């Protein structure tokens, strides 16, 4: 496996691959959730590129860009063990000549004026822009994204359709710790006490799912019940959407996706999680 930092070098290699290219875009600090995406790409018999790039354009000014974990050596070892062909880890200068004078890919307002897009202005412009760049740089035919970032996945799928990227997006299920905590690179910020609070996200989702299965389909009751379990965290949002449209869920909709974002106060860590109610 090669670790590549330069776009030109990557292009030289990808020009000569005879297998389709599978891209796993990441910001590093890889965990078993990322591992499941890499495994899937390798199993699909792709030439697998894992990009590791902490993208400054998707972080707000008061967010955790500076402290975001950077563990390239460890990440590369995992990628190699999993059978990836290349780790692409460019510098900021390699990716952006000037982040202030940058052509951005901007998802439609209706997809970003809610949930994470509402609390993180500019975030999804940054994500859509860097993902488009990675698609163009790697010339991948498939790209693997985790369902934990459900709104991100929805936005990327729409972008691929709207901008005619000839790429198949492969959604991969959330990977959880045995006690239910969804894996996230930001879990590394949690001490034991904070971890107990973080667990409330999956507990709240599971509780709402239980109520749903008992026949309670009232949005207010479901959200209020989940909210009680989240006590002790600072809830950013708790919503139920139609996963096909990301519009507010209505009783006529077949599928329902509950999403939560909350800050864990002692460590100021913002976590997200989601679950289909069915
Ligand atoms: O999900 C992430 O880690 C990032 O948003 C992504 C898709 C790698 C873009 O920087």
Specify burial of residue 23 (Cβ count, 10 A radius: 0-12, 13-18, 19+).
buried
- Report CA(79)–ligand 1 centroid distance (Å): 17
Confidence category of residue 123, pLDDT binned at 50, 70, 90: very high
Contact 54, 25 (CB under 8 A): no
Pocket flag, ligand 1, residue 127 (CB < 6 Å): yes
Residue 236's pLDDT is 98
Average pLDDT estimate for 171-191: 98
- Report CA(183)–ligand 1 centroid distance (Å): 14
How many CA atoms lie within 13 Å of 265's alpha carbon, on the beta-carbon side? 6
Residue 55's pLDDT is 98
Residue 49's pLDDT is 99
* Residue owning tokens 């000014």: 61
Pocket flag, ligand 1, residue 131 (CB < 6 Å): yes
Confidence category of residue 25, pLDDT binned at 50, 70, 90: very high
**Any catalytic annotation for residue 34?**
yes
If phi > 0 it is left, if psi is from -120 to 50 it is alpha, else beta; for residue 29 that is left
Report the nearest-CA residue for atom 8 of ligand 1: 26
Q: Give the nearest ligand 1 atom to 54 CA.
A: 10
Q: Both tokens of residue 87?
A: 């780790």
Residue 87's pLDDT is 99
Pocket flag, ligand 1, residue 126 (CB < 6 Å): no
Report the nearest-CA residue for atom 5 of ligand 1: 127
Contact 234, 251 (CB under 8 A): no
Pocket flag, ligand 1, residue 26 (CB < 6 Å): yes
Report the nearest-CA residue for atom 9 of ligand 1: 127
- Report CA(186)–ligand 1 centroid distance (Å): 13
How far apart (Å, rounded) are the C-alpha atoms in residues 123 and 56? 10
CA 159 centroid distance within chain: 15
Residue 225's pLDDT is 98
- Report CA(274)–ligand 1 centroid distance (Å): 17
If phi > 0 it is left, if psi is from -120 to 50 it is alpha, else beta; for residue 139 that is left
Pocket flag, ligand 1, residue 25 (CB < 6 Å): yes
How far apart (Å, rounded) are the C-alpha atoms in residues 80 and 53? 17
DSSP one-letter code for 20: P
- Cβ neighbours of residue 239 under 8 Å, at least 6 residues apart? 114, 115, 223, 248, 258, 259
How far apart (Å, rounded) are the C-alpha atoms in residues 157 and 170? 9
- What are the C-alpha distances in Å from 241 to residues 35, 186, 190? 28, 25, 29
Q: Both tokens of residue 273?
A: 């999680």
Q: Please state the pTM of the whole predicted model.
A: 0.98
Pocket flag, ligand 1, residue 27 (CB < 6 Å): yes
Contact 230, 200 (CB under 8 A): yes
Residue 151's pLDDT is 98
In the chain, the percentage of residues whose pLDDT exceeds 70 is 100
Q: Give the nearest ligand 1 atom to 185 CA.
A: 3
Average pLDDT estimate for 46-70: 98
- Report CA(163)–ligand 1 centroid distance (Å): 19
Average pLDDT estimate for 150-164: 98
Residue 195's pLDDT is 98
Note the residue count of the chain: 278
Contact 207, 278 (CB under 8 A): no
Mean pLDDT score of the chain: 97
pLDDT digits (tens, 9 = 90+) for 225-236: 999 999 999 999
* Residue owning tokens 């976590």: 271
Q: Which of 5, 31, 34, 123 is labelled catalytic?
A: 34
């Amino acid at each position: 496996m090669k670790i590549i930092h330069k776009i030109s070098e990557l292009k030289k290699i990808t020009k000569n691959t005879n297998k389709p290219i599978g891209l796993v875009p990441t910001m590093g600090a890889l965990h078993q959730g990322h591992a499941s995406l890499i495994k899937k790409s390798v199993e699909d018999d792709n030439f697998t590129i894992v990009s590791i790039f902490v993208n400054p354009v998707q972080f707000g000014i008061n967010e955790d860009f500076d402290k975001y974990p950077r563990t390239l050596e460890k990440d590369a070892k995992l990628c190699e063990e999993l059978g990836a062909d290349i780790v692409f880890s460019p510098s900021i200068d390699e990716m952006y000549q000037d982040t202030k004078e940058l052509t951005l890919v901007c998802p439609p307002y209706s997809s970003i004026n809610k949930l994470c897009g509402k609390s993180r202005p500019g975030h999804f412009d940054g994500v859509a822009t860097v993902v488009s760049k990675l698609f163009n740089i790697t010339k991948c035919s498939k790209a693997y994204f985790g369902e934990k970032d459900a709104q991100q996945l929805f936005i990327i799928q729409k972008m691929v359709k709207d901008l005619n990227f000839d790429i198949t997006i492969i959604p991969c299920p959330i990977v959880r710790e045995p006690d239910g905590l969804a894996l996230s690179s930001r879990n590394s910020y949690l001490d034991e006490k904070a971890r107990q609070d973080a667990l409330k996200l999956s507990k709240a989702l599971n509780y709402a799912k239980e109520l749903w299965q008992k026949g309670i389909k009232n949005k207010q009751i479901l959200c209020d019940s989940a909210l009680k379990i989240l006590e002790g965290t600072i809830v950013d949002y708790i919503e139920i959407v139609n996963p096909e449209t990301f519009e507010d869920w209505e009783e006529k909709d077949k599928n329902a996706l509950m999403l939560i974002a909350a800050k864990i106060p002692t460590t100021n860590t913002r976590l997200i999680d989601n679950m289909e109610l069915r």
